[in-house]
Amino acid sequence: MYCYQCQETAAGKGCTVKGVCGKTEDVANLQDLLIYLMKGISKLSVRLRAEGEEMPEANKFITDGLFMTITNVNFEKQRFVKKIEEAFIIRKKIIKRLSEKGISDIPLDCSCLTWEAKTVEEMEEKAKSVGVLSTLNEDVRSLRELLIYGIKGIAAYAEHAANLGFENPEIYAFMQEGLAATKNDNLTADELTHLVLKCGSMGVEVMALLDKANTSTYGNPEITKVNIGVRNNPAILISGHDLRDLQDLLEQTEGIGVDVYTHSEMLPAHYYPFFKKYSHFAGNYGNAWWKQTEEFETFNGPILFTTNCLVPPKANATYSDRVYTTGSTGFSGFTHIGARINGKAKDFSQIVEHAKKCKAPTEIETGEIVGGFAHAQVFALADKVVDAVKSGAIRKFYVMAGCDGRMKNREYYTQFAERLPKDTVILTAGCAKYRYNKLPLGDIGGIPRVLDAGQCNDSYSLVVVALKLKEIFGLNDVNDLPIVYNIGWYEQKAVIVLLALLSLGVKNIHLGTTLPAFLSPNVVKVLVENFNISGISTVDEDLKLF
């Protein structure tokens, strides 16, 4: 195996024996093989689309397949074997459809379009030759992987939107165009760079689509105080990002004496008006994803993973029989809840019955945290914010969005937030907020000093806010705003957020805690020269710089 798609990759270079995330070598290799086959399917889909025909089955397959390979989503070998077998079927269907349309120049110039296996052993052998290192040129490899990881992020957000009935064919078309391009050896580095920036533009499109899906379905997020203590009822803990899964779960637990708590990136669900009607929607339990191995022990009830970030349990974990997965997630030994059929609710009866037999969660903290500062809510406060800026009460905004992680150097973000001058405001989204959203940082004239827009995909809200401020202050360039970008990243959804910012012309982004291992020195040079991207240093040095 060779995997370097996340921030915690081994030694800052690449995981070669076992993933730091817990991914085993056989699963990592099968993920590589699945991606390889999806590149072939994408080439065929691009050709079919050129004939004016869309294949929804292929769009869904590629979206799901990409999501399954994001860090901390799926660790279950058999699920990947089945997905690879499905790839052979999808590929044959597209080739057949092209033939039926009289297409004689079907592109079959790569084994990703022709190779097929009958056994798992054949799959595992083929997987060894199609991974990251099969692209020999370091810079081409870097650009290809950057593009693929950006597309993985797009796939995640596209799947959430599709679950709510919102789709954009142009997004599927680009995902497939991009994947197909990574098998085109004739593309120059400049052409690949152009595709990477186009990926960023499509990232803006997919985040806008998901924002529309969420707000149309559940209302605009509003300022909300979320309880972080517990009640005395048995309960279910829901983790991940998929709001439709939460809706199904709340509907199936209403009035039966079982509470529902959010975990990690599901926290922002509390900000949507729709979910506030459920009296058993109790609050948020715990912190960022990486603390789950200790916090799941004390929750006592079942846990439902709707998406990443899943951490393999320790050998002595007592909660393993209480964890359920659904959607793209999976882990051997965890019960998997099947897909939604024809748009109907998923059947969560098994996890509901399990919850009834469990004792209430053990309290690990008390109090409240405040969030709900997505773009509509900030616009409602626009006059107050503008007046604070003009009067000097707010001197600068710090965008500290993105991901959290388990490494000790992540304490940088807590210390940075604690030591920021009191006339500054933090704009955040994603699980990075858990490094400082419970700190007593106070407010500025009633405006909290931490404005939480929501999940990682709600970084779109921060972009919308920045563009609105540029308009209000009559500036020509978004980079002239008093905004500093000090962003933490971990996985591929953060990659598409970064590319989206670059596509909008945002410069001077500081990325931590380390720069991505998949960026070659020459690619880093291009990013520095064109966007002035840099890493982070010490808290003292960065505060002085900013």
Asked whether the predicted pLDDT for residue 377 surpasses 90, the reply is yes
Q: What is the pLDDT of residue 105?
A: 82
What is residue 327's predicted lDDT score, i.e. its pLDDT? 97
Q: Based on the number of CB atoms within 10 Å of its own CB, is 345 exposed (0-12), middle (13-18) or buried (19 or more)? A: middle
Pairwise CA distance, residues 287 & 284, whole Å: 8
Each residue's pLDDT tens digit, 266-280: 999 999 999 999 999
Given a contact cutoff of 8 angstroms between Cβ atoms, the answer to whether 373 and 367 are in contact is no
Q: Which residues lie below 8 Å from residue 188, measured CB to CB, with a gap of 6+?
A: none
- pLDDT greater than 90 at residue 385: yes
The pLDDT of residue 441 is above 80: yes
DSSP assignment of 459-497, as one string? HHHHHHHHHHHHHHTT-S-GGGSSEEEEEE--SHHHHHH
Burial label, 232 (beta-carbon count in 10 A; 0-12, 13-18, 19+): exposed
pLDDT of residue 104: 83
**How many angstroms separate the CA atoms of 259 and 279, rounded?**
9
Residue type, 311: V
One-letter amino acid at 431 equals C
Integer Cα distance of 246 and 239 in angstroms: 9
147-196 residue pLDDT tens = 999 999 999 999 999 999 999 999 999 999 999 999 999 999 999 999 99
Overall average pLDDT of the 6-21 stretch: 97
Class of domain 373-545: alpha beta
Q: What angle do CA 214, 242, 205 make, to 5 degrees?
A: 50
Handedness of CA 148, 154, 158, 159 (dihedral sign): positive
- Give the residue carrying structure tokens 């626009």: 382
Q: Is 74 helix (H, G, I), strand (E, B) or coil?
A: strand
Percentage of residues of the chain with pLDDT beyond 90 = 98
Residues 198-220 have a mean pLDDT of 97
* 449/427 Cα distance (integer angstroms): 8
- Would residue 173 be called left, alpha or beta, if left means φ above 0 and alpha means ψ between -120 and 50 degrees? alpha
State pLDDT tens for residues 291-303: 999 999 999 999 9
In this prediction, residue 411 carries a pLDDT of 97
Q: Is residue 520 predicted with pLDDT exceeding 80? A: yes
How many contiguous H segments (helices) and E segments (strands) does the chain have? 17, 15
Tell me: the pLDDT tens digits for 214-229?
Answer: 999 999 999 999 999 9
| Chain centre distance of CA 112 | 27
Nearest to 386 by CA among 465, 329, 441: 465
Lowest mean pLDDT among 107-121, 202-216, 362-376, 422-436: 107-121
pLDDT at 54: 94
Quote the mean pLDDT of the chain: 97
The pLDDT of residue 82: 98
Summarize the confidence of residues 254-260 as an average pLDDT: 98
CATH code for the domain defined by 1-134 = 1.20.1270.20
Query: For the chain, where do the domains classified as CATH 1.20.1270.20 start and end?
Result: 1-134
List pLDDT tens digits, range 59-118: 999 999 999 999 999 999 999 999 999 999 999 999 999 999 999 888 788 999 999 999
The candidate with the shortest Cα–Cα distance to 273, out of 318, 329, 222, 210, is 222
CATH topology classification for 224-356:
Rossmann fold (3.40.50)
Question: Which backbone phi and psi does 161 adopt, to 5 degrees?
Answer: -65, -45
Tell me the average pLDDT across 438-465: 94
- Cα separation, 347 vs 350, whole angstroms: 8
- Within the chain, all domains assigned CATH 3.40.50.2030 are found at 224-356, 373-545
Q: Which helix (H) or strand (E) holds 321?
A: none
- What residues are paired with 100 via a beta bridge? none
Lowest mean pLDDT of 296-300, 359-363, 464-468, name the range.
464-468
For 130-155, letters b (16+ CB in 10 Å) and e give bbbeebeeebbbbbbbbbbbbbbbbb
Average pLDDT of the residues in 346-358: 98
| Contacts by 92-98, CB closer than 8 A, 24 or more apart | 93/55, 93/57, 93/58, 94/41, 94/44, 94/45, 94/48, 94/55, 94/58, 95/44, 97/48, 97/53, 97/55, 98/44, 98/47, 98/48, 98/51
Q: Are strands 281-284 and 443-444 parallel, antiparallel or unpaired?
A: unpaired
What is the pLDDT at residue 109? 83
